[in-house]
Amino acid sequence: MRNALSFDVEEYFHVEAFKTVVQTREWPTLESRVVRSTERLLDVLDRHRVSATFFVLGWVADRHPRLVREIRARGHEVGCHSYAHRVIFSMTRPEFRNDVRQAKEAIENAIGGAIIGYRAPTYSVVRQTMWALDILAEEGFRYDSSIFPIHHDRYGIPDAPRGPYRTTLSNGRDLVEFPISTLRVGSQNLPFSGGGYFRLLPYAVVRTALRRLNRRDQLPGIVYLHPWEVDVEQPRFPVRRLTRFRHYVNLDKTLPKLESLLRDFAFMPVSDLLTEHGFLEIAR
């Protein structure tokens, strides 16, 4: 079974946990490192002949349109990761719609084509923000990958389905959801497939979990990473111990683990996988 590989293209300073130490107005004054980090990922994917989905921040697309075009030119799908990396539950519905429109316009202008996939910052489609899916469908998105079926202090819908599914929204429109992959152990869903979980866990655990998802549960998985997760030399911010642990631990292990993953499993972009499984009728 093939799985989906995805990257959330944002700067190291966009992380939600840094909001208390880095103000939005400071972003343009900070060193940009997203281009070199993303290009490192693109080179790895080229070596393994793997295509993926890159959910790009509109803020990044406005400042680095050439990078977004390069992602597309090297055979990858481009999706949307919001404009200003604001969690949905911090916005009103009109504010969210404006953010989505601004991001979509910036990304589509960069690549000269349409995008159909969305991923919310910090997986902030939660129970109280399910209305965001209606807006995404109204704005032309065909699928979303923002629901994490786990318990977490900042996000998660623990009882959400664990594999891709089509949902009919309150506005009558359809949207496909591809939730972040989890391992079912007893009555709990355990995360393993990306971000800090991927960096913290031994690779053997990640490999076993993804194999079990494919073979036992007969579900395709989705792996997610960020360009800043391969950037060992990124500037450090004075943050709380837990935040420091979540963000900086094992940055030097990300690329070797990704290389192992690409050798052990077959991957494809999200839209291609959803098309292969009959959830979408038209590929990217």
- Note the pTM of the prediction, 2 decimals: 0.96
- pLDDT band, very low/low/confident/very high, at 284 (cuts 50, 70, 90): very low
Average pLDDT value over all residues in the chain? 96
Q: State the pLDDT at residue 107.
A: 98
Handedness of CA 195, 201, 202, 206 (dihedral sign): negative
Q: State the pLDDT at residue 282.
A: 61
Is there a contact between 51 and 75 (Cβ–Cβ < 8 Å)? yes
Q: 173-225, pLDDT tens digit by residue?
A: 999 999 999 999 998 999 999 999 999 999 999 999 999 999 999 999 999 99
Q: State the pLDDT at residue 283.
A: 45
Is there a contact between 34 and 11 (Cβ–Cβ < 8 Å)? yes
Q: 19-44, pLDDT tens digit by residue?
A: 989 999 999 999 999 999 999 999 99
Q: How far apart are CA 52 and CA 46, in angstroms?
A: 11
Q: 113-151, pLDDT tens digit by residue?
A: 999 999 999 999 999 999 999 999 999 999 999 999 998
Q: How far is CA 236 from the centre of its chain?
A: 23
CA neighbor of 129 nearest in space, from 163, 102, 156: 156
CA neighbor of 135 nearest in space, from 165, 173, 108: 173
- Partners of 144 in the beta sheet? 118, 177
Domain formed by 3-276, architecture: Alpha-Beta Barrel (3.20)
- The tokens describing 81, both together, are 């990761």
Q: How far apart are CA 244 and CA 12, in angstroms?
A: 13
